[in-house]
Structure 1
Amino acid sequence: MISGRQTLASIDQALDAERVKLTEMAQRIEAASTTQLKLQQADAEDYRALARTRVDLLAAGELARHIDQAEQQVIALLKAREEALEAIGARIHAAELERTRLEAERQTQAEQVDRAAEAVDRAEAGTQARLNADPAYQQQHQLAQAAERTAMHAEEKATESEQEKDQKGASYRADPLFIYLWERRYGTPAYKANPLARWLDAKVARLIGFADARANYARLNEIPERLREHAEALGAAADAAFAALEALDSAAREADGIPKLEAELEREQQALNAMDARIAAAEAEQQRLLLEQASFATGEDAQTKKAVEYLAAELRHDDLMTLRREALSTPFPDDDLIVSRLLQRDDERRRLEASGQGLRDSLEQQRKRLSELESLRVDLKRSGYDRPGSSFQDGALVTLMLGNFLNGMLDRNGLWRVLKEQQRYRPQRSDPGFGSGGFGRGSVWGGGLGDLGNLGDIVGGGLGRSPIRKRSSGRRSGGGFGGGSSGGGFRTGGGF
């Protein structure tokens, strides 16, 4: 078993590790983008040197000046990029400080909620101890339990009888002669027919033994109805006994001031919910800024794209391409050395472009995983899973599934499903199943948080208790108690 706060701490550690990975990946991509730009700048320098070696090229001076102008334009763009990046970094730092401040405030508010919940829990435990020692309360509790058991038994008998009716009555309903006489109400004061029809119906009745069959079928229909009426009466009595017990619970809680403590808890919880909403907004803003910063790392920002595209276009200038081709055709070693460097940088660019896409894909996957983990953390807190008394039954399984999520083997919904299935809550002192809470109809008790496993309702602003429910009638189509033979129990000549 692992506590809710230990689980939250594990998620926080995983978030820190994922943020480090994301930063490292962004730095690698930014380094690759910077290298690409430096390669282009080195090309420009070599083209300038190549132009100077070609004294026969009348436009060499003009070409060098053209390259210088391109470089100056790129330098200006990169300076603007650096300023924009610094501004975003400052905003991210401010957003991180704001989120940290809000998290600290949330921790303080969460402690307020915990104290309020503990006050409710302690008060309920005291009330339950007092009721345990109250003979009148214990008598009503025993009465309600006995009424519930009796009603459940009657419900089972009624359901079984209804099923028996369906099973045994099938053979009667399948005989066309019997069902013909039954529907005509033959053998009862309600039967009406002309003399000829009476004579024919009498012959059919004697042929299939209708008198005995009708009596059996009538009893088969009548017994379930009587048992159902009896079960409903006992169910109403059980409801009344339960309501009386629940009223004693509520009166005792009122006398001990528990509703006021719960109102205070709800106010503190609402304040915590508002704090969570502010944190969510701050995290969303931080994520937006991080995405904007990541665009600089990947070279997708406006300044970098302009610089790369501008310099690349200038380096594809016809005069430069002519200069490069002519340098390849001359025997001068200086030309050959410069062209060799240009060719090497061409190869380096192709290698960087090939690896860059893979790095960008990895960055996107890590960013998505980080976003999902942050969303999961928010849901865990909003659902109260980090509250005192909240725990996860199989701590090893939770740790394993968290690792699988971080490794990309499990999606966010799968991890959340595991957390919901494993989460349990138990007040420290009071018992949600005490008194009227032990009948499966909801509970007025809850240690400040309501029914076990019902923590998710806290998000809605209430205390999480399930509403008190009446017993549901067990009348089901085809339900019931099997028993007896499947035959109709009468002789027939009518084909069944």
Structure 2
Amino acid sequence: MVSGPEALRRLDRSMRDIRDEERSLTRSSADASAKIARLREVESEQFSALAKVRLDPQKRTEVTDYISRAEKEANEILQRHASKLDELSGLLADVDKDIEATRDKRDAAMADYEAAQKKLDQLSAEVFADLDKDAKYQVQKQAVDDAVATFNHADEKAGVAEKDREEKGAPYRNDPLFMYLFERGYNTNAYKASNITRMLDGWVARMVRYHDAKPNFVILNEIPMRLREHADHLQDEIDAERQKLDALEDAAFDAHGGKAARETADRSEEIIAAIDARLVELEDQRDELVHRQRKFSEGKNPAYREAVDLLASGLQREGLEDLYAAARQTSTREDDQIVRKIDAVRTEIVALETEINASKDRLKTLAVRRRELEDIEWEFKQKRYDRPSFDFDDDLVEDLLGEFLKGAISASNYWGQWQKAQKYRGPKRSRSKDQYSNPWGSKSYSSKKRRKSKDYGTFGSSSSEFSRPRSTPRGSKGKRDHGGFKTGGKF
């Protein structure tokens, strides 16, 4: 068995391994791209040598001068490219250091929490024995239960309405002409268009019967929005009632000598909440830097392409490819040596490009796995599985983790295994605040921010069950904008 804190550390180590491999492959791709650029220079030099052998003096001077200028200009561009790549690598290294230092701070805060919680667990039996006899506590506990029941009913109604919106709203959203008019705000004060456009839009509106369809579409979206707002308000009421219950429990633990431990536990939770919010920021910042660095290392940035194209265009412009083809048909010793060198250079370039493509594919896979692992870690903390009161089977952080990282099982499947395998070994009863789904994130990401979208339906798949906030769009599961038309829900 593996404890919750140790399980999280194992996931962190896997994340570190992914980041290490990303750095290694990115560096290799950058080196390969730089080598290709150098080989292009060698190729140009060999073509200059070929020109000296086979061209008349005047044409030879023109060709070699042009190639020399192209090489000089390309070198300046490549130096700027290398400098930018070094800058990105330095920024990425700094972020990685920040992530490791922040994780160390989290471990320290969790150690303080564990020690304090152990003391509170020892007191819990006698504390709740007294609270069970306290009429005021029982009334407040019932108030929380009633608020939760009311919210659940409202949440269910909102869910049904949202599902109805998805199903019945699909024909509207799938009609490009209707959505074109709707997004432009046709027939509203927001609609702006020239006279010709107004005439054409009017013709489209009549063709799709827009004036009849729009009210139905608006109502179809308005109902779930209002129901969701009502459920959100009821969730706020739950929070208020729970705070009252927390106050009664805190006073009871204090009366049994647990004040110092309680304050330490609460303070540690706040520290961990801030740390986890910071980790999300750093991970997203790193994700953006990795994306930019990968583009540079693969030679996708415009400056690098300009340099390589500059060297290649010089050969094409001066007709040297024809000269090369003619040289291959001769059997002179000097021609053969140059041709063999050019062939060797081009063969090596092809091999390097194949290596870059393989690294590119692997980096894409690693980026997906890293983001999915970030999602799983987030949910792990949301469920409080990182507490010492939870145990898990070794397979989850060994065999199954390996299968997930290889892509043999999906992130959703792997997370489902965690949920099924968790074993709680804490006290039978604990403070209500210790039972909330997300104490770590509650200070930085409020329940309102985690609620369902109030916009016009979903775009894409609705199968994702991950709730980690994302500041970068790649692979995220949040709201998307489709033109001027907002779409929401899970993605």
| Residues 1:431 and 2:431 are matched in the alignment | no
Report the alpha carbon displacement of residue 67 of structure 1 after superposing the two structures with TM. Answer: 0.7
The 1:352/1:108 distance shift into structure 2, 3 A limit, reads closer
Matches within 5 A, 1:185-264: 255-256=255-256
Residue 339 (structure 2) aligns with: 339
Q: Confirm whether residue 373 of structure 1 aligns to residue 358 of structure 2.
A: no
Map 1:5-84 onto structure 2 (within 5 A).
Answer: 5-54=5-54, 56-84=56-84
Determine if contact 2:3/2:391 at 8 Å carries over to the other structure.
Answer: yes
Q: CA deviation at 1:17?
A: 2.3
Distance 2:40 2:107 in 1: 52
Q: Determine whether 1:360 maps to 2:345.
A: no
Q: Is the 8 A contact 2:78 2:304 kept in 1?
A: yes
Whether the aligned pair in 1 keeps the contact of 2:376 and 2:415 (CA below 8 Å) is yes
Partner in structure 2 of residue 277 of structure 1: 277
The 1:455–1:260 alpha-carbon spacing in structure 2 relative to 1, beyond 3 Å, is farther
| Structure-1 separation of matches of 2:9 and 2:105 | 17
When residues 273 and 51 of structure 1 are mapped into structure 2, their CA distance, relative to the original with a 3 A threshold, is same
Query: Letter of the aligned partner of 1:414 in structure 2?
Result: N
Amino acid at match of 1:317: R
8 Å contact 1:369–1:406 — kept in the other structure? Answer: yes
Cα shift at 1:251: 9.3
Offset of 1:250 from its aligned partner? 10
5+ residue gaps, structure 1: 138-247, 433-444, 463-496
Tell me the residue number matched to 2:434. 449
Q: Is the 8 A contact 2:327 2:335 kept in 1?
A: yes
Whole-angstrom CA distance in 1 between matches of 2:250 and 2:114: 23
Contact between 1:269 and 1:461, CA under 8 Å: does it hold in 2?
no
Structure 2: runs of 5+ lacking an equivalent: 135-247, 445-491
Match of 2:411?
412
* Structure 2 residue identity aligned to 1:95: V
CA offsets, 1:414-440, max 9 Å, x none?
Answer: 11111112123332xx431xxxxxxxx
For 2:415, the aligned partner's letter is W
* Letter paired with 1:73: E
Moved more, 291-300 or 67-76: 291-300
After superposition, the C-alpha distances for 1:71-129 in whole angstroms (9 at most, x for unaligned) are 10111011111211221122122222222332232223323333443343233234357
The residue matched to 1:391 in structure 2 has which SS? strand
d(CA) in 1 for partners of 2:254, 2:358:
65
CA deviation profile, 1:189-230 (whole Å, cap 9, x unmatched): xxxxxxxxxxxxxxxxxxxxxxxxxxxxxxxxxxxxxxxxxx
Between the two proteins, the alignment pairs up a number of residues equal to 332
Relative to structure 1, is the Cα distance of residues 85 and 384 closer, same or farther in structure 2, using a 3 angstrom cutoff?
Answer: same
Q: Which amino acid aligns with 1:296?
A: F
- Please tell me the residue identity of whatever aligns with 1:339: V
- Higher radius of gyration, 1 or 2: 1
Structure 1 residues 282 and 267: alpha-carbon distance in aligned structure 2, compared to 1, 3 A threshold: same
Distance 1:12 1:251 in 2: 37
Which residue is 1:169 aligned to? none
Q: 1:5-54, CA deviations, whole angstroms, 9 ceiling, x for partnerless residues?
A: 22122212222322233233333433432332233111101011112223
TM-score normalised to the size of structure 1?
0.59
| Separation in structure 2 between the aligned mates of residue 351 and residue 122 of structure 1, nearest angstrom | 65
Report the Cα offset of residue 370 of structure 1: 2.1
Answer yes or no: is the 8 Å Cα contact 2:67–2:311 preserved in 1. Answer: no
CA distance in 2 between counterparts of 1:127 and 1:325 reads 91
Q: Indicate the residue corresponding to 2:291 in structure 1.
A: 291
The aligned residue for residue 194 of structure 1 is none
Q: Distance in 1 between matches of 2:302 and 2:250?
A: 66
Question: Aligned residue for 1:440?
Answer: none
Q: By how many angstroms is 1:311 displaced?
A: 1.3
RMSD between aligned residues = 3.4
Give the TM-score normalised by structure 2. Answer: 0.60
Tell me what 1:113 maps to: 113
Q: Which amino acid aligns with 2:21?
A: K
